[in-house]
Amino acid sequence: MVPTDPGPHQHVERHNHPGIPITVDELIRTQVALVGNPNVGKSLFFNYLSGLYVDVSNYPGTTVEIARGRFQDIDIYDTPGVYGISSFTAEENVTRDMVLKADVILNIVDAVHLERDLFLTQQLIDMGKRVSVILNFMDEVEKQGLELDIRLLSHYLGVPIFTTTAITRKGFDRIPEAIHEARRGQQDREQHSRLHTMLAIAGSEAEALLILEGDEDIAQRHGVAPGSEREAMYVERRNRVNLIINAAVSEGQIRKRLSTLLGRLAVNPWTGVPMLFGALYLIYLFVGSLIAQDLVEYLETNLGNGLWEPWVRDLVARFVDPNSWLGTILIGEFGVLTMTVTYLLFLLLPLVIAFYLSLAIMEDSGYLPRLAALVDRSLNSIGLNGSAVIPLILGFGCVTMATITTRLLGSEREKRIANAILQFAIPCSAQLAVIAAMLAGAGFRAMLIFSATILTVFVAIGTILHRTLPGKTSPLLIDLPPMRIPRLDNVIRKTAFRAYFFMKEATPWFFAGALAVGIMQVTGLLNIWQSVLSPFTVSWLQLPKEAATAFVMGMVRRDFGAAGLYDLSLSPDQIVVALVTITLFVPCIASLMVMLKERGTKEAMIVWFGTWVGAFLVGGTLSQILL
Amino acid sequence: MRSTISLHLAKKGSFLRIEGIPEGKSRAQLLRLGLLEGEMVRCLERLPGGTIVLEKNRQEIAIGFSLASTIVVTVVKFPKEKE
């Protein structure tokens, strides 16, 4: 196979993608997509090339993040990490469409794991795209005693290869060259001949290949039946990759490395479980203790109650009577300008940042997938597999965000179970902060009863759904990336990005919630609501009737609900009952919206009303026992 | 001695050859990760309950019990014979 001139194909390839509208700007500028397996350092290259001018958005119709940067006359796209191009997951769909659209593919490859990574490389080449390969982690190749014949590798693949070391950024200066020298590589001869029949229909080799490999989306776009040859084509490709590797890679003395050892210890039950508790304890120290208690208390009292609130109260009081209805709404007890601002800026923001920081470190260090392997079998008993540990942990940060990530789970059944658990039994970080503060005041016994009750509900929901829903749990199958020390700039970038998006999403709901409660307060609706609910709150839960306010606010934001209990004078046992009820109570409005979108109206409504029943049932039962 | 077993029964440290992978979505994923019939792997860890961690040329892959129990392997080398 002689690599053919890429020129004439580009025109054809531009017009066959109903998935993505193309703007005039994009026709002029070269479109480059960074593509690679997960954890190969794509973001580092993206950050290097794009500098500060990045616009990040959700890919149309999905919640998958797509970052676009500009570098000279090039638009550069960061894509989600995948092991191959097809449509198994939402991430794969996005990466697939980005690849189809791009003029040039910069394929980032982990030089230590060529067997795994070159499958994708060969597939990109088989798609007839212009490709340049960047072998990253060259420092580790040396440390692990591997020898790569890069000229031979480049010869077999038929595309230029550049080498880099992410940590020191060695070789990064040649990336622009890599973009310009990208070319079509050596396609698998067998596959290429098959392609020609489909080419006439699909219009581009890339899409023709995907149709032959049974990609249903692409086949549908062109109105043909998806091919049935995936298996054969994958095996051919795999064999070809193995041949290339046998020729180009030789293994010297393998040296055991600390990171390898650490990775092994993390999946060994004897050392992994203590490591998990160690990690959770560190997160607790950082998020739960340092941030949630010390920093938040300082910020809330000094900046919020001490500085901001008096200032804004004085300012508003010059124009509006503080005792009027408008005054109550703006600067009263649940004031939009007082309580809400303090809450958002001095409680929620530091917590959200701290939480995402911890998560980014766990992600980038390669610990999360190992954790998934470790807990896999335990999660099996509630109908989930190990990968569900990610949404579940994320839920302790923000249930809304976690609900979105449930789409990563393997089956509809697992999504349903994980979603129900999240909405019922997992308190988010903002709520957790208020809960922690109240429980700290109520003593150790209260803490114990609260945790035991919530844990029981967690297991009960999972078990019941697992037993009653039809179908089977999909098996765990994940690659464990090497343990690495996370790069600070990457971690900070990720955290800042997520925190920003979260605040952007949550802020309007906060104001809406405070406004709603404020209006209910001035119109007297709040009192009516309190009386309506009083049979439940006063007789059944044995709480003061003002606790009903918390349930109004709880519908807006979960932590608003918990915060509504904060000012009531309650006995330790009452605190437990109130907190259990509010924790199990309905998810916040933002979560509800996401749930409606992800799970459909019927299921979302069942879960939403279910939390009413569940919360009052469990809270009330506990109250009857304790009080 | 060579014996054919289900992967979830593999002993930690043993070297295995993959003999059979069932059809289905998981098969395509396994192919991409480089696990197909005839490949040699090492069982790095067997977690309680049968979640298996495999190593193939510096690459580590975790496979849940339900999938592991459908993969057939031959034990090429027991852990005690190691080197």
CB contact under 8 A, A144 and B64: no
What pLDDT, on a 0 to 100 scale, did the predictor assign at position A10? 37
What's the mean per-residue pLDDT of chain A?
84
CB contact under 8 A, B28 and A88: yes
What pLDDT, on a 0 to 100 scale, did the predictor assign at position A184? 93
CB contact under 8 A, A477 and B53: no
pLDDT confidence bin for A151, thresholds 50/70/90: very high
Task: Judge whether B5 is closer than 8 Å to chain A, CB to CB.
Answer: no
**Where do we find the tokens 């209006």?**
A519
pLDDT confidence bin for A1, thresholds 50/70/90: very low
Give the mean pLDDT of A277-305. 85
Tell me A627's DSSP state: -
A225 pLDDT above the threshold of 90: no
Q: What is the ipTM of this complex?
A: 0.91
Joined together, the tokens standing for residue B33 give: 């990760």
The whole-angstrom separation of Cα A166 and Cα A595 is: 39
Is residue A66 within a helix (H) or strand (E), and if so which, with residue range?
strand A65-71
Nearest to B65 among A268, A369, A377 (CB): A377
**The dihedral of CA A491, A493, A499, A505: what is its sign?**
negative
CB contact under 8 A, B67 and A475: yes
Task: Judge whether B40 is closer than 8 Å to chain A, CB to CB.
Answer: no
Task: Judge whether B9 is closer than 8 Å to chain A, CB to CB.
Answer: no
A510-524, A568-582, A608-622: segment of lowest average pLDDT: A510-524
The whole-angstrom separation of Cα A527 and Cα A532 is: 9
Contact status, residue A505 vs residue A430, Cβ threshold 8 Å = no
Side by side, the strands of the sheet bearing B15-20 are: A477-480, B59-63, B52-56, B40-46, B15-20, B72-77, B4-6
Q: Is the pLDDT higher at A209 or at A284?
A: A209
Spell out which residues of chain A touch residue B49, defining contact as CB-CB under 8 Å: 376-378, 380
Q: Quick one: which of A139, A132, A81, A60 has its CA closest to A103?
A: A132
Which residues of chain B from 11 to 30 reach within 8 Å of chain A, CB to CB?
A: 25-30
Kindly tell me the burial class for residue A569, based on how many C-beta atoms sit within 10 Å of its own C-beta (0-12, 13-18, 19 or more). exposed
A254 pLDDT above the threshold of 90: no
B83 pLDDT above the threshold of 60: no
A9 pLDDT above the threshold of 70: no
The whole-angstrom separation of Cα A270 and Cα A276 is: 11
Query: How many inter-chain contacts (A to B, CB under 8 Å) are there?
Result: 117
Strand partners, A250: A147
- Percentage, residues of chain A above pLDDT 70: 93
Residue of B nearest to A272 (CA): B47
Contact status, residue B45 vs residue B13, Cβ threshold 8 Å = no
* C-alpha distance from residue B49 to each of A214, A374, A378, B61 (Å): 35, 10, 8, 17
- CB-hemisphere CA count at 13 Å for A278? 10
Measure A45 CA to nearest chain B CA, in Å. 23
What pLDDT, on a 0 to 100 scale, did the predictor assign at position A5? 41
A2 pLDDT above the threshold of 50: no
Give the mean pLDDT of B16-38. 87
